[in-house]
Amino acid sequence: MTPMLEMRGIRKSFAGNEVLHGVDYTVAPQEIHALVGHNGAGKSTLINVLGGLYTDYQGEVLLWGEPVRLSEPQESLAAGISVIHQEFSLVPDFDAAENLALGREPRRQAGLIDHRAIQVDGRALLDSLGLSIPQGVPARQMSVAHQQLTEIAKALSRDASILVMDEPTSRLARAERLALFEIIRRVSNDGVGVIYISHFLDEVLSIADRVTVLRDGNVVLTGPADELTIDGLAALIVGEAPAARSKRIERKLDAGPVVIELDQFGQSGRPGNSLQVHAGQVLGLAGLVGSGRSSLLESVCGARPASGTLRLNGSEVRLNSPAVAAQFGVVLVPEDRKTKGLVMQRGVGENIVLTSLARDYAWLGIVHMAARREAIHEAILRFGIRTASDEATVSSLSGGNQQKTLITRASVSHPVVMLLDQPTAGVDIGAKGEIYSLLRSLADQGVACIVASDEIEELLALCDDIAVVRAGKVGKVNRSADLDEATLMAQMSSKGERE
Ligand code: ADP
Ligand code: MG
């Protein structure tokens, strides 16, 4: 049978450096074909060829056996290829419906844009997909999950025959992922071919018909999903025995002194929470998207108005802003590293010392460049950030290394309490393992860590203790050794408890 899409011997170079070395990839109608690989393996580049982003690729693309040359995004769209890119493309000031209508707004007779029809059509589309995204909220105010779901709705609304999803679920909670899978299965049953990129191998194996593994720009395997295992895939992805897979890290359980204590503390106007974290303890917060984990972390580090009492090493403190919190050694590694964390166009080194510069390397207003440079080099080595140089822009790093940069920055500021929101979102298995050991070594130095994550497996592997957050309320703290995935999942998603 002729595949609906065939890519043959695709090669692509950037500035003379070849990153795809002759990739073959096909998609049949109704097929869900997953594409997996390490950060930097070439997945997005392959997808960008298909999306018409490059004019200078080598090799052939055939649609229903007919060779095509895709050198403009419009040509891809016209050929029925709809791509949800890894980076969001929403208009920040538009709400979901307006973003969905972009470029094909319904008009009234006088040629004026029919804003009412935009909202009605948008709602109808979202309803038909079973997506509940609030109306009238501009994209820049939406949660990351809602932005992602809007992107997905936008792509699905194009009547594509080939739908490409580049890591659509890295920002979604379990329940939302499951909802997305239903949508994917439905469109694939309708005849659409789906290209699905994800780091979640369990999810890949459950949804895909076939899986292709890319490593360093080469296909190392294409095969039916039901003949593959997670461990087998992980080994192919990293090209060696998967050492960094989430083995539960051995921990001594004797806790140090209480470092941070919350007493009826929370976001203003929300229920307060009481909680203690000890030196060297890693406390995990499990919950669904919207359960209030991020707002709690933001309140603790002064990024949101809070009520109640917060004690650090026994003394009550008021952390009214992130700057004040940082002076007390309370730092947040935020969820959205691109918009809240890193200065993407600045150097890796500059990003690392951004917050500690004034305190550590300046004296009477004079920055000690040599000491600063040395500290940067040491940090890059110690935290294993893979970068061409300390001056390379953060935007040139892979997602995993960007995240390590963010954690390194928080670490070099001598934190007492580290708050981490989704520390490994969108990061591959290898980098995940490295981030876990990085966090563990911080804890071993006595830092109290609070980690919010959507990955239950991750919380179980990384944290000493775990509490489930529902509707802004932190539940009972349990030793993670006493918990399992099913129990946590059940607690997280019990009915009627979402915000
Ligand atoms: P993946 O999506 O699998 O993580 P990418 O396709 O993004 O991988 O990257 C593959 C390789 O191509 C990486 O080494 C990356 O640094 C490089 N690369 C991607 N886009 C560009 C670009 N615009 N300029 C230079 N190098 C790039
Ligand atoms: Mg990518």
Measured CA distances, 44 to 1, 40, 161 (Å): 27, 8, 19
Instruction: Write down the pLDDT at residue 407.
Output: 86
**Architecture of the CATH domain 247-493:** 3-Layer(aba) Sandwich (3.40)
- So what's the pLDDT on residue 72? 92
Closest ligand to the CA of 393: 1
Q: Which of 19, 21, 47, 195 to mutate to test the pocket of ligand 1 (most atoms within 8 A of CB)?
A: 19
* Residues, CB-to-ion distance under 5 Å, ligand 2: 43-44
- Supply the pLDDT for residue 366: 57
Return the structure tokens found at 29.
């109608």
Query: Helix or strand or coil: residue 94?
Result: coil
Q: Dump pLDDT digits (tens) for 140-190.
A: 888 877 888 888 888 888 878 999 998 887 777 777 778 788 888 988 998
In order, the DSSP letters of 233-258 are HHHHHHTS--TTS-PPPP-------E
Q: What is the pLDDT of residues 477-499, one digit of tens each?
A: 999 888 887 778 777 766 443 33
For 294-431, list the strands marked E by DSSP: 306-312, 315-316, 330-333, 362-363, 366-367, 417-421
Residue type, 213: V
Please say if the pLDDT value at position 441 is more than 80.
Answer: yes
pLDDT 10s digits, 176-214: 778 788 888 988 998 999 999 987 888 899 999 999 999
Q: Which tokens belong to 257? A: 């002194």
- For ligand 1, whether the C-beta of 322 sits within 6 Å is no
User: How do the domains of the chain map onto residue ranges?
Assistant: 5-243, 247-493
Do residues 300 and 310 make contact, with C-beta atoms less than 8 angstroms apart? yes
Structure confidence at residue 87 (pLDDT): 73
Q: Is 82 touching ligand 1 by the criterion CB < 6 Å?
A: no
For the chain, give the mean pLDDT.
85
What confidence score (pLDDT) does residue 340 get? 66
Res 476 pLDDT > 80: yes
Q: Would you state the pLDDT for residue 7? A: 97
CB of 43 within 6 A of ligand 1: the answer is: yes
User: What are the φ and ψ backbone dihedral angles of 138, each rounded to 5 degrees?
Assistant: -65, 150
3-state secondary structure of 400: helix
Q: pLDDT at residue 247 above 50? A: no
Distance CA 3, CA 212 (A): 16
Least confident range from 218-232, 298-312, 385-399: namely 385-399
Q: In degrees rounded to 5, what are phi and psi of residue 449?
A: -120, 135
Inform me whether the pLDDT recorded for 253 exceeds 60. no
- Helix/strand/coil for 426: coil
Q: Residue 244: is its pLDDT beyond 50?
A: no
Confirm whether 5-243 and 247-493 share one CATH topology.
yes
Q: Concatenate the DSSP letters of all residues of 219-237 into one string.
A: EEEEEEGGG--HHHHHHHH
Structure confidence at residue 368 (pLDDT): 64
Q: Which of 322, 345, 346, 349 is nearest to 334 (CA)?
A: 322
Instruction: Determine the distance separating the centroid of ligand 1 and the alpha carbon of 20, expressed in angstroms.
Output: 9
Residues 420, 164: Cα–Cα separation, whole Å? 30
Ligand closest to 56 (CA) is 1
Q: Is the CB of 42 under 6 A from ligand 1?
A: yes
What topology does CATH give the domain 5-243?
Rossmann fold (3.40.50)
* Cα 483 off chain centre by: 25
Q: Give phi and psi for 305, each to the nearest 5.
A: -60, 135
* Average pLDDT rounded to a whole number, residues 23-34: 96
What letter does residue 107 receive in the DSSP assignment?
B
Q: What is the pLDDT of residue 40?
A: 83
